[in-house]
Structure 1
Amino acid sequence: MYLIEPKRNGQWVYDPGVSMAIQDYVKDHIFLDDDVMFPYMMDPVVQIGKYQNAYEEVNQPYMDDHGIKIVRRVTGGGAVYLDDRNMSFCFLIDVNQSNDIFGNYKRLYEPVIEALKKLGVDENLLEQKGRNDLVLDGKKISGAAMTVEKGRVYAGYSLLTDPNYEAMVSALNPNMKKLESHAIQSVRSRVGSIRPYLAPEYQNMTVWEFTDYMLCELLGIDDVSEAKRYELTKEDWANIDQLTAEKYHNWDWNYGRFQQFEYKMTERFPVGTITVGLVVKQGKIADVQITGDFFGKKDTKEIEAALKGVRLRKADVLEALQPFDLSDYFGNISTEEFVSFLMSEKVPTT
């Protein structure tokens, strides 16, 4: 099995979009004489499944405040919070040599279970459970996803050694007042950590030491220097950069891919109650209706018209409303207040 590390000029790449683009590019364009493994560690990010609606899965205001990005992967499954405290692993496995690994998450996790046992983890507490989870003492320490493309199983999983529980819970806690759609919603499981279950002599392993150990176990080698590697070329990197820009750093892929959903917000302001209903298509406001018991001098249909076709993103909405004095439409309310309400942020007190 080949090892492809997300390194550029000898430096580890933490950008979530670049990491995903590396895997995506290799999956579609690089075919070697053996299977492939990618370890990857990212800057804080919420990675959502191919078929999920980003607005249902994340707490965008929290993510904005804490510099957490979002990236959509090409496999299904649910949303997961990843960061630079935990390592993840992906694989490209020849379908003809895989012994029916596709959809067999128990088999996918077998090498992980064996490796953790050698670190002192009680095998009686480890179990592949549910559709695609690995649990330790009843708590989830890994979630896996896979698909098949161009004759290879593309599979991956994270391994939680030092999870940031506060960020994980907060980032994966969407705060829209009301959402209705047919998207697959993440099942939020109880999450655990591998570290407390390691033998005493391994308790102080760094994430990099744990990674090197797992690489050796998964590749069947004694030292990571023995790994059979494929080094990405300048041409590879040029294509990866293009894919990153066009796809994984593209708002339309990460947010706008979901076809349509609706939501409604109602808030009591000093000027009265305002209710806004939105229909969102491809991440853009397709229809909007504003109602309430407020008093205004101008017709809110002008605001509705200004919002149609605008991306459901705070900066875009603020820009669309910049020409308007909202006090003419609602009374004493600022544009910032209205947009915070529209984005289901905490509404500033007046």
Structure 2
Amino acid sequence: MYLIEPKRNGEWIYDPGTSMALQEYVKDHIFLDDDVLFPYMMHPAVQIGKFQNAYEEVNQPYMDEHDIKIIRRETGGGAIYLDDRNMSFCFLFNGTNDAYGNFERLYEPAIKALKNIGVDENLLSQKGRNDLVLDGKKISGAAMTVQKGRIYAGYSLLLDPDYEAMVSVLNPNLKKIESHGIQSVRSRVGSIRPYLAPEYQNMTVWEFTDYMICQLLDIDDVREAKRYELTPEDWAGVDKIAAEKYNSWDWNYGRFQQFGYRLTERFPIGTVSVDLTIEHAKIAAIQITGDFFGTKDVKEIEEALVNVRLKKDDLLNALEPLDLNHYFGNLTKEEFVSFILSEKES
């Protein structure tokens, strides 16, 4: 099995879009005489499945506040939070045979590796469709698809999950969304570190990664790995995919064709309700109602927001010419936009 690391000029690449683009480039353009392993680590990001509606999966205001990106992958499955405290592993397996859809088989090497550093085998098992569970808590979720006769699969391993960020970012409050996206099943999330043997308790994430690479490649030292080094031409292809797809708003947010939702919130100036129809992440229709007092017709706000992307900066820019005090009373543009994106139910 070849090892392909996301390194450019010797430096690890953390950008979520580039990480995903690298994997896509390799699976579509590089065909080797053996399987491929890609370890990857990202700056904080939420990775959602190909068929999910981004707005159903994340707390967008929290993401904006903490500079957390969203990235849509090419495989199905649910939303996961990734950061630089945990490592993920993707694979390209030549041939599809009986391995496609067999998550138990996919996890076998990882389970063996974790047992070897002290994890109790009686507490560790593959459960449900695609989860790895330790002591009743999820420490990994896997995804899999077939591309050009090869199985493209991957999973994360939660060594030190950031529980606060994970819970906050994967906790959308919207209850009245009307969509046909495949929603994530929320599970109790666990951590691998507390279950390691004492001599492994202080492993860094990089030491853990090197250990897992050795186990997955069946070698004694990571320096023994059979590697494929990306060329400048390869990186040019990766950058093109990242720019046109994985770092594109249309791919990450706008791919989902249409959905609608309703919000109601009680402000000091009165109750405000907003009904929205969203098409490709842009506001196709909006209706504002409530018991607030204003001297101008809110229809002007509605007209200003039609065809605007459901994104904080775009919404604020669209409202820039308007003084919302004339429409609602003492309500700022920032408060109104945060309300639209807050996904709160009355």
TM-score by length of 2: 0.97
Q: What SS is found at the alignment partner of 1:179?
A: coil
5 Å-filtered alignment, 1:327-346, equals 327-344=325-342
Please give the alpha-carbon distance, in whole angstroms, between the structure 2 residues aligned to 1:285 and 1:323: 18
Letter in 2 for 1:60: Q
1:39, 1:89 within 8 Å by CA — same for their partners in 2?
Answer: yes
- Conserved in 1, the CA contact under 8 Å of 2:260 and 2:276? yes
Q: Deviations over 1:203-241 (max 9, x none)?
A: 111111111111111111111111110000000001111
Query: What are the equivalent positions in structure 2 for 1:215-226 lying under 5 Å apart?
Result: 215-226=213-224
Which aligned pairs between 1:119-198 and structure 2 lie closer than 5 A?
119-176=117-174, 178-198=176-196
The equivalent of 1:205 in structure 2 is 203
Per-residue Cα deviation, 1:79-134 (whole angstroms, up to 9, x for no partner): 000111111000001125xx411100000001111111111111111110000000
Number of equivalences: 344
Task: Report the alpha carbon displacement of residue 327 of structure 1 after superposing the two structures with TM.
Answer: 2.0
Alignment pair present for 1:32 and 2:32: yes
* Structure 1, unaligned runs of 5 or more: none
Task: Give the deviation of 1:345 after TM superposition.
Answer: 7.2
- Would the aligned equivalents of 1:177 and 1:344 in 2 still touch at CA under 8 Å? no
- CA deviation digits over 1:218-265, x for unaligned, max 9? 111111111110000000001111111111111111111111111111
1:293 to 284, 291, 294: 291
CA contact (8 A) 2:59 2:342 kept: no
CA shift at 1:177, angstroms? 5.6
Match of 1:264 among 249, 262, 265: 262
- Secondary structure at 2:254's aligned position in 1? coil
SS at match of 1:338: helix
- The whole-number CA distance in structure 2 between the counterparts of 1:270 and 1:211 is 52
What SS does the aligned partner of 2:213 have? helix
Write the letter of the residue equivalent to 1:43.
Answer: H
Q: TM-score, normalised by structure 1?
A: 0.96
Distance in 2 of aligned mates of 1:308 and 1:177:
23
Aligned residue identity for 1:119: I
Between the aligned partners of 1:304 and 1:177, the Cα distance in structure 2 is: 23
Distance 2:343 2:61 in 1: 6
Q: Could you tell me how far 1:194 is from its partner in structure 2? A: 1.0
Gaps of 5+ in 2: none
**Any idea what the Cα deviations from partners look like across 1:180-215, whole Å, max 9, x if unmatched?**
211111111011111111111111111111111111
1:220 maps to amino acid: D
Structure 2 letter corresponding to 1:56: E
**Residue 41 of structure 2 is aligned to residue 41 of structure 1:** yes
